[in-house]
Structure 1
């Protein structure tokens, strides 16, 4: 197999005032919190969004491991819908000291390029900033961060930066070039 150079960028926002909202795409796009942790829904979203961009770290998790991840206090999954059909999602992962990581964010392939991503990222970032209002035991958010890499979608980095995220760390490493698992891993 051949080797590629993988670049990973970590980006942050340190004030809600840094958020630059994207245009709202239209009334057919709605965003709703999945308030009941559902490993089946989360695995579907993860595999469907990440199947063509090398998201593989959670594919081998058991159902019990998914439940454990999703039931942690403050973890939230927000799903974008296009007239009732899931179009993408953002998963928020609160960490100690008022930090919230946007753990996963993206759109299913058929919904990319339709100006939904900027709106979903705006919405998800705003929910990271006001997370403590829904989780009273959490301290107020003081920092929101996310990472993306050179294997992610071609507009990911631009979307993060347009929303106001700033790069605070860049890492490169050699990685074995592997095919993507696609949205139907193992099928």
Structure 2
């Protein structure tokens, strides 16, 4: 088995004024909250967005596990649509004590490079900053954070920095490269 070094960067914003929103892309692009917990839809988004960059940790989740995760107060999924077609998503999770994590963010490969990502990230971060308003039992948001890694899309780090995120931690770990194939939304979806 081959081992590769994977760098993980953790980034944060500590005030709503840190957000530098991207321009709204041209055309019919909308961002809508997926308000009804749907394991099928969420698994579709997860596999379609992360399949080519080895998002695999949730692929083995059962229906019940997905439903439990999605139904948790403080967890929200926001989906970008281009002309009615899902293009990507951002998942937020309030962690308590005024901290909100952007757990997953990304675009389906066919929609990358169209300026949808900056807009979707801006939208998600703005919602993270007002998450406490929608979940009054939680403290006001004081920090929004996320992590990305060297396996993510080539423009991910630039997008996060352009939106006002600052680096606060870096880790390098060896990972077994052959351990999991990148499945895409279904086996063979992303030809070599």
TM-score where L is the length of structure 2? 0.94
Which residue does 1:112 correspond to in 2?
112
Which residue does 2:184 correspond to in 1?
182
Within 5 Å, which residues of 2 pair with 1:13-52? 13-52=13-52
Displacement after TM superposition at 1:139 (Å): 1.6
Secondary structure at 1:20 match in 2:
coil
Displacement after TM superposition at 1:96 (Å): 1.4
Alpha-carbon separation, structure 2, partners of 1:158 and 1:138: 31
8 A contact 1:51–1:185 mirrored in 2: no
Which residue does 1:11 correspond to in 2?
11
Which residue does 2:142 correspond to in 1?
142
Alpha-carbon separation, structure 2, partners of 1:89 and 1:182: 16
Alpha-carbon separation, structure 1, partners of 2:124 and 2:186: 26
Which residue does 2:124 correspond to in 1?
124
- Output the aligned Cα RMSD: 1.3
- What CA deviation, in whole Å up to 9, does each residue of 1:83-126 have, x standing for no partner? 10000000001101010000000000000000000000000000
Matched, 1:161 2:161: yes
Alpha-carbon separation, structure 1, partners of 2:44 and 2:184: 12
- Which sits farther off after the overlay, 121-130 or 174-183? 174-183
- Which sits farther off after the overlay, 123-132 or 21-30? 21-30
Secondary structure at 1:181 match in 2:
coil
- What CA deviation, in whole Å up to 9, does each residue of 1:140-167 have, x standing for no partner? 1000000000000000011001100011
Alpha-carbon separation, structure 2, partners of 1:23 and 1:186: 35
- Structure 2: gaps of 5 or more residues: none
8 A contact 1:29–1:80 mirrored in 2: yes
- Structure 1: gaps of 5 or more residues: none
Alpha-carbon separation, structure 1, partners of 2:78 and 2:184: 22
8 A contact 1:10–1:148 mirrored in 2: yes
